[in-house]
Structure 1
């Protein structure tokens, strides 16, 4: 099996502007993925993603923010290495207008580059696959609820 990247794609009935806001702002991200988040959607900004009652706090660095079409960040850095772009995973949301909505293409890359031993690489890759299989549909559900109330 190839453990290089994870790709997920969904179509939502929301404009790229609304989708960009939802994938790039802490207050929205915490409604469909994390329990809390703190970051600015500005390239180079360092922030954090939080699960549980701060049980898991993961540093992240915004790589690219091009409203309303692209948002990316790096995370899963080895302890204390948030400034090393080669030692992290890259998550990218590409947003493309499609009909009356938006096609969201999520890609997570960098697994092989982390230098993990084979068993850890396979375990973490499968964990992230399961995670995105849960959270990408939640993103779509959250956007549907959000758009219906606007």
Structure 2
């Protein structure tokens, strides 16, 4: 299994970025067309992204420092629901927040499409969180 990691600086405080990771309105502002979120350990994490039903659960919710969820595709043999883990670590900076993302336990074949997807969606997160600040 493999891992993808990246970071982005966002011109918004950690509390605003955090809300974009744990609220339906926040999540839909940067990723997905439908979401069901219960941000507590063991709570539901479900986001539909361009017709892909991402399903998992919240593992860690530490406002405003980190969010960890399991991640996978419903009814998929390559990347089953909840089979990987995505960690968002939020660190305050002079101009806002540094987000360190790590997507672990990925099958090798899934690293390139997830890397492309995360870079795309984190750019949108940066824009929407900055606009909300």
Q: TM-score, normalised by structure 2?
A: 0.86
> Structure 1 stretches of 5 or more lacking a match?
113-120
5+ residue gaps, structure 2, are none
Cross-structure match for 1:43: 41
- The TM-score, its normalising length taken from structure 1, stands at 0.77
Is residue 97 of structure 2 the alignment partner of residue 102 of structure 1?
A: yes
Q: Which one of the candidate residues 72, 88, 91 is aligned to 1:76?
A: 72
Deviation per residue, 1:28-69 (Å, 9 max, x gap)? 1111111111011111012311134xx432222111000010
Match of 2:120 among 134, 140, 143: 134
Runs of 4+ in 1 over 6 A off after TM superposition: none
Bigger relative contact order, structure 1 or 2 (CA pairs below 8 A, ≥6 apart): 2
Cα distance in 2 for partners of 1:102, 1:96 equals 5
Instruction: Considering fraction of residues, name the structure with more strand.
Output: 2
